[in-house]
Structure formats: C-alpha cells, structure tokens
Structure 1
Amino acid sequence: MHMTQTIVAETEADQIIEVAGIHKTYGNVVTALQDINLGFQRGELTSLLGPSGCGKTTLLKIIAGLLEPTEGEVRVHGKPVTGPGPERAFVFQDFALMPWATVIKNAAFGLELKGVALEEREDRARHYINEVGLAGFEDKYPHELSGGMRQRVGLARALAVEAEVLLMDEPFSAVDEQTRRKFQEDLIRLRETENKTFILVTHSIEEAVYLSDRIVLLSPRPGRLKQIVAPEIDRSGDPEAIRRNTEYLDLIDDIWAGLRDYVE
C-alpha cells in the first residue's frame, strides 16, 4: 500500500528546519500538540494534514515564530526560533492585505519593512506579481480583485522577501474549485523555479497528495505525529494528468481510510 512508502533519510546539510519535542498547551487545560519531532528539507513541499482541531495551524505558527511552544523548540539552520525571522514568510488564510494600498505596494510591503530602496523593492515586487499571474494589475486595489487574485498578492508578497521557507495556512480555502486547481498547478511550477521550502496546512487530502513531497499526518487532539507519507507521483507532465493517475487516486483512498475513524 502507498501508505507504507519509505522516506529517504534526511541529511543535516539539507535540513533547514528542525522541530524538536514540541508540546503546546493552552491554559494548562487543552493540549494542542504533544511531542512533535520533524525535519524539513530544502526544496521540499510538506503538507500538514489531519482532522479538525489536531493542531496543524498551531504547529505552523510555532514554526513561524508567531506562537511559543510550551515545551521543545524549533531550530532554523541550527539556531533556536525566538520569533518571526527573515528566512520564513507566512501566507495568511485571510490574505492580510492593506486595503488602502495597491497591488504593487502590498507585494512590496515586506521589502519596505526591511528598508529596501523604493526602486529595488518595486522591481522585485513586479517580478513576483508576474510570477503569480497578476501582471497588469499592479495599480489595482484589493477591493477591485477577486478572492483568488487577492491570495496571489499575498503569495507575491511572501515570495518577494526571498525567504527560504514559505509557510502557508490553508492558502486556497477561500477560493472556488476552479481557482483552487489553477493555484495548485501554479504552486507546482513555483516550487521548481523558486527552489524554496514550502510547509502547507490543508484539510484536503486530494490537495496534499497532489502537491506534496511529504504528507505529515497528525492525530486528533492532542496532535501527535501519526505517520509520514511520501507520494511517489510524477509531476513533470500535464498537471491534469496527475488527477487521473492511479497512484494518486489510490493514495487518496489509503489516507482517507486512515483518517475516517477520526472524522465526526
């Protein structure tokens, strides 16, 4: 069965992020995460998948430095995380755009915070606006864009700061199915051209299998590492052909069989 595929051993040279013994409790009452140990390698896309309430977004925010763990630590290039850092960029589920700013100003905002000169930051923002398919919309405002276009602006902003790791919290959940599919195809292409490490929270088994080098399955609360699955799917050809691939469909069924008992 595909659920038992072997993971290639990680090497320290390729590992960017290490999650070591992470435990998160809210108010000494609710344990969200328990004893999470993971490594994330350069250039990989990893999906965090599991039933609602299993701590996927909590883990992502701990990696981002937006939440402190109760126990354990996250290390980036061997250094403990004490807060957000320039090597990690977060793509929020609700886009988090500034409504009074144009597309190019939103895309360049992270660079402005870093003190990058106006001409350079706008050049870089334009490049990534083009990369995410928004060329020609630089001077539009968020209220003039569809939900899918606003999410592309958020992605362009994260790419523009040239962080090594992109952390994405259900980035496609607020768009329609057609837009979601196009986003997924674009993300596969961006992985190849940008060579960044992506960590993605999703509720969609299909999305996780379609996109991921690895799928981290978390158990119901308290979230524990249940299993790591490595899809062996050729993504080099027609993106739509993947969705008809027997291995893709079989792996979706296998993962669903493992999660079914946890779904109310």
Structure 2
Amino acid sequence: MHQTNRSFDHLQEIVPPSAVSVRNVSKRYNDVEALRDLSLEFPRGQLTSLLGPSGCGKTTLLKIIAGLIKANSGDVEVNGVKVEGPGPDRAFVFQDFALLPWANVLRNVAFGLELRGVAKSEREAIAEKYIRNVGLTGFERSYPHELSGGMRQRVGLARALAVDAQVLLLDEPFSAVDEQNRRKFQEDMLALVQNEKKTFIFVTHSIEEAVYVSDQIAVLLPRPSRVSEVIRPTSFRNKDAVNIRRDPEYLDIIDRIWASLRNYVE
C-alpha cells in the first residue's frame, strides 16, 4: 500500500518541514525481516505516533532513529544530518523507565546534564524546572523505589526534556500506568508538545491514544513493516483536552484505523 496524507475535513494544511527523515530503511534480524524499504517524514515541532500490530517494528524504527541500532539499508537524517549513532539532538524515554536506582529524582533528571559536564548548580536548576513541569514538585529527594510506576515514568520524561534534545523518542511511555493516570499523562503530553516546541516520536499500541495526542499518525503494516498510511487530524487539534474525545473526526479516525488493523489482530 502507498503512503497517503489524509485530512478528514478536506482543509488545506501547511505541514512544517521535517525534523526527522526516514528513507528506504530496511532491518533484518537473522531470518526475521522487521522493516522493508520504510520511508516516513516527521514534521518539526509536532508529535507523530507510530501505530500498528504487535511486532510490526515500531520500537525497531524508534531505535534506528535514536542511533541505538543500525539499519541494514536506507538512512535517517535529523535536521539534515545523517544519523550514525546516538547524539545530543535526540533523547529516548524507555518503556521500563531506565532510572538509576541509587540516585534520587533530582539527580536522575539531571544525569544527562551531569554526563555533559554541566555545573551542578546549573544542572540542578534545569532539573528542578522539568520536575515541576511534569508534576513532581516535592519528590526531588525521593528514590525510584519510593515512586509509583506513573511517577517513575514522569522522571524519565523530565530527564529527556532536561537535556534539551530537539527530538524526543518515546517507547510506549504510558503502558505501565492505570487508565486514570494514562488519561492525565495524555493531557500533559498535549501541553508539552505545545509548550516545548520539540519533535516527539511516540510509539503506542492504543488507537485512541494515538489519535488523541498526535498531529500525525503513521499506521504500520505487520512485518516486514511498511507505512500503510499517514493520517493528519485537523478539526480537533486546537480544541481543549476534554472536547477532543467528543469530536466527530476523532471518532471517525479511530474507526478507520481499527477497520484497517482488525484483520492483523490475533
């Protein structure tokens, strides 16, 4: 199937230039072909969700963009520079938090800055700002084992924001939290995209979540993964968080994506 851009209310939309370009990327693990000739553009300052069946290569693509693994063919560019490995222009938020168990929240959030040699007073001031932005004020001296799963995920997000990377890569960041916290995180994510002006690439299994938080949704086919279609919601992007879920386009897109994926669900 060919990649298409859909605008369900037929408005002409100006899409920002790409911060990340993935061109003809293929990846094979021994006899398993994970990605085949996959191409996708990620607009600067927006959130793009990667959505598709389990095992379709979403996390593999995210790690290739991060420079954590290499593609067998094709290339990835971030702001016009070819990705050859990890770099300060990208930050990864892992599904399992990847926090330092021996460090408190403040040091965990400041750790990337510490590795860069930023002075202690400066890095702690930056860390405190992002701790506040993710709603963890008062927990600066707490340790990961003292926090709930949702709070640990907020620490991971604050750490990624603190290093001021232009591209944030999030691998199912809300999968370990309950439904109430997940909804709150989704609302917070909308605010972060609006306020931080960074490019977010977001892996999720949830159709509703993808449609709710995304400026762009890339629907991936089962492996070997290719892009089935690219959907850009339009009518509800500027609505408040509560009313998005009631918007007819929001509901229509959910139905369309489910119709395209239901045959791949085991």
Matches of 2:40 and 2:198 in 1, distance apart?
18
Q: How many residues align?
A: 259
CA distance in 2, matches of 1:197, 1:39: 11
- For the pair 1:22 / 2:28, whether they are aligned, the reply is no
Q: CA deviation at 1:231?
A: 1.1
Distance in 2 (alpha carbons) for counterparts of 1:233 and 1:53:
31
Taking the TM superposition and a 5 Å limit, the aligned residue runs for 1:112-151 are 112-151=114-153
Q: Secondary structure at the match of 1:139?
A: coil
The one-letter amino acid paired with 1:17 is: V
User: Are the aligned partners of 2:92 and 2:160 in contact in 1 as well (CA < 8 Å)?
Assistant: yes
Structure 2 portions without partners, runs of 5+: none
Residue 100 (structure 1) aligned with residue 102 (structure 2): yes
Q: Which amino acid aligns with 1:15?
A: S
Match of 1:211 among 182, 189, 213: 213
The structural deviation recorded for 1:234 is 2.4
> 1:120 is aligned with what amino acid?
E
Stretches of 4+ moved more than 2 A in 1? 3-11, 233-238
CA contact 2:22–2:41 (8 Å) conserved in 1: yes
Identity of aligned residues (%): 63
Aligned AA (2:19): I
**Any conservation in 1 of the 2:236–2:247 contact (CA below 8 Å)?**
no
Task: Report the Cα distance in structure 1 between the residues aligned to 2:113 and 2:234, rounded to whole angstroms.
Answer: 37
Aligned equivalents of 1:41, 1:240: Cα separation in 2 = 25
Give yes or no for contact 2:236–2:249 (8 Å, CA) kept in 1: no
- Aligned mates of 1:125, 1:247 — CA distance in 2: 38
SS across alignment from 1:186: helix
User: TM-score under structure 2 normalisation?
Assistant: 0.94
Q: 1:227 aligns with which of 226, 229, 239?
A: 229
Unaligned runs of 5+ in 1: none
Partner of 1:59: 61
d(CA) in 2 for partners of 1:153, 1:114:
19
Q: TM-score normalised to the size of structure 1? A: 0.95
Letter matched to residue 200 of structure 1: F
Report the CA distance shift for 1:246/1:10 in structure 2 as closer, same or farther (over 3 A): closer
